[in-house]
A and B are shown apart, each in its own frame.
Chain A
């Protein structure tokens, strides 16, 4: 079956530093989505990437979708304490008549002031 793997599982970052989390799929994706979940909260949609090689930016966050549409990355620059949380990628696999969103295990980000 389809699997979405995400690394690293944990990321400790000093405030002001940059970091990247990576997402890999076992099969080609229709699109990939990124979510952020704060401790005790629910996943909040960040962005969706659809096109091969697509790059999107949201302020300090840069999202990339691989050429083969099987991998993606999220890069955060100048980390702030507000970036604390777990970042999930979710690959959308489409069948003939419906699709399924498969989440990775997430990268838990801890920011040290």
Chain B
């Protein structure tokens, strides 16, 4: 167990709806990264939050947004859901001392989102 938790574990939404996914980072970690993993593919980087600010983003549209709270937990929000958003959403926490320095990321169990 990594100490990273995510909720909910599973979620079913319909196209056009909005969804919020939550992540609690491992104790002592200050950075949370979010990934989307479609079936049979590797995780794709969505964005990273460090010190409550987004400091890196992958190739995802603005309808993917997030927050990081003072306790370093994080939310991923997706608006106007599309069928292709169906995937496993993973968060990973890490301790970053210097911005840009990659430390080991510990993944949570993920949230499986199905968009109908």
Contacts and interface: CB of A to CB of B under 8 A. Distances in A.
Interface string A62-83: 0000000000000000000000
A102 to B, nearest CB: 7
A85 interface: no
The bracket for how many chain B residues form the interface is 20 to 34
Given A99-B100, A102-B45, A43 B107 contact: yes
B114 to A, nearest CB: 15
Contacts of A58: none
B56 A99 contact: yes
A95 B100 CA distance: 7
B99 A43 contact: no
B45 A100 contact: yes
Interface class of chain A by DSSP: strand
A111 interface: no
Interface string A19-55: 0000000000011010100000111110010000000
15 contacts: A6-B42, A30-B102, A33-B102, A33-B105, A35-B107, A42-B90, A42-B107, A45-B106, A90-B42, A97-B99, A98-B50, A100-B48, A100-B58, A101-B102, A103-B43
Interface of B: 33, 35, 41-45, 48, 50, 55-56, 58-59, 88, 90, 99-102, 104-110
